[in-house]
């Protein structure tokens, strides 16, 4: 690293990112899909989150798996992946770790599965591990781990015991108290957070009167969820700033202005996902816009901007006529 790092360089859990951009899990396969796009470069990213990985191979859900909605997209892929052994032994050796950081995404249907997949990634060149706690717990009737604070903490604790690598917990918005859940995950050993995962949604074919998505429901992503994601980042940041815990803010970011909103609200890095499907070169545009903003506001680095949101003071309530 040079003595005069770029203003876009971002420190995250002891890692230095080229830029604050993280390509989100499920949107770039296992890191190779966008390298075939003319003009795309991993050097425009800070990190790439690999596709969700389970202990055994999974075929995924029945189609339709993806459906476009106004200002967004529904997806229910079903964690299709070749299993952790193949990812570690065959896929990771093909990745160029000199260009960007690579983050594994761990999924499971039991605490034991999360532990075992994390343990196997610990003995690999992967830079960090993200745990997707939005998966259903089959031992508890299918309740998502991430929607129950106690179960969230159990998964984080198990994964913490399985690795010394940076551990990033991906929080679900489909819960009552996301800040309280974050506090429990910090106490269980989480080093960072991804905020947020997708919102649950549905689309209906009115002629056949059945859901369009083969799984009946799917995760909603894209610009439609941005206001929700921004609020959740702000709420989680209130807990994280006390512990110096960084956040990857994500949910509907398509422009530099979107990215800057998330950084001001408390995100140290920003995740790009759905936007890649219609503009594979969006990362370069976002980086250029952020750099221009930093220069215009005479800010030497992004970390000077994180969490600088100034809230309005509530007006006093006046009773009577």
- Residues annotated as catalytic are 135
Burial of 93 (0-12, 13-18, 19+ CB in 10 A): exposed
What percent of the residues of the chain are helix, what percent strand, and what percent coil, each to the nearest 5?
Answer: 35, 20, 45
Which tokens go with 7?
């203003």
C-alpha angle 216/217/219, rounded to 5°?
155
Give the Cα separation of 219 and 203 in Å (integer). Answer: 11
243 neighbors 42 (Cβ within 8 angstroms): no
Does residue 49 contact residue 42 with C-beta atoms inside 8 Å? Answer: no
Tokens at 116, concatenated: 């075992």
DSSP string covering 97-127: TTTSEEEEEE--SSHHHHHHHHHHHHTSS-S
Cβ–Cβ < 8 Å for 50, 105: yes
* CA distance linking residue 87 with residue 33, whole number of Å: 15
User: Which residues are CB-neighbours of 96 under 8 A, at least 6 positions away?
Assistant: 42
């Amino acid at each position: 690293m040079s003595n005069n790092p770029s203003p876009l360089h971002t420190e995250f859990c002891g890692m230095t990112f080229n830029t604050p951009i993280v390509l989100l899990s499920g949107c770039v396969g296992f890191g190779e899909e966008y390298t075939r796009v003319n003009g795309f470069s991993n050097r425009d990213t800070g990190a790439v989150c690999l596709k969700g990985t389970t202990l055994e191979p999974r075929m995924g859900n029945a189609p339709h798996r993806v459906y476009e909605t106004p200002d967004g997209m529904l997806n229910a892929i079903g964690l299709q992946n070749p299993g952790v052994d193949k990812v570690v032994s065959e896929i990771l050796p093909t990745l160029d770790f000199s260009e960007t950081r690579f983050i594994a995404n761990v999924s499971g249907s039991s605490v034991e599965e999360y532990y075992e997949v994390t343990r196997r990634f610990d003995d690999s060149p992967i830079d960090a591990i993200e745990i997707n706690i939005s998966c259903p717990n089959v031992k508890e009737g299918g309740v998502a781990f991430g929607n129950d604070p106690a179960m969230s903490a159990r998964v984080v604790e198990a994964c913490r015991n399985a690795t010394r690598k940076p551990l990033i917990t991906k929080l679900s918005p489909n819960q009552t108290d996301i800040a309280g859940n974050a506090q429990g995950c910090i106490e269980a050993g989480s080093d960072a957070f991804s905020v947020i995962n997708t919102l649950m949604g549905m689309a209906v074919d009115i002629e056949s009167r059945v859901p369009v998505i083969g799984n009946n429901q799917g995760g909603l992503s894209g610009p439609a969820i941005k206001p929700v994601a921004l609020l959740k980042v702000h709420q989680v940041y209130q807990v994280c700033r006390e512990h110096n815990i960084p956040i990857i803010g994500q949910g509907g970011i398509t422009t530099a202005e979107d990215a800057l909103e998330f950084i001001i609200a408390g995100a140290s890095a920003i995740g790009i996902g759905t936007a890649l499907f219609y503009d594979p070169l969006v990362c370069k545009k976002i980086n250029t816009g952020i750099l221009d903003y930093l220069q215009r506001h005479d800010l030497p680095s992004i970390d000077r901007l994180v969490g600088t949101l100034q809230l309005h003071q509530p007006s006093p309530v006046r009773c009577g006529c």
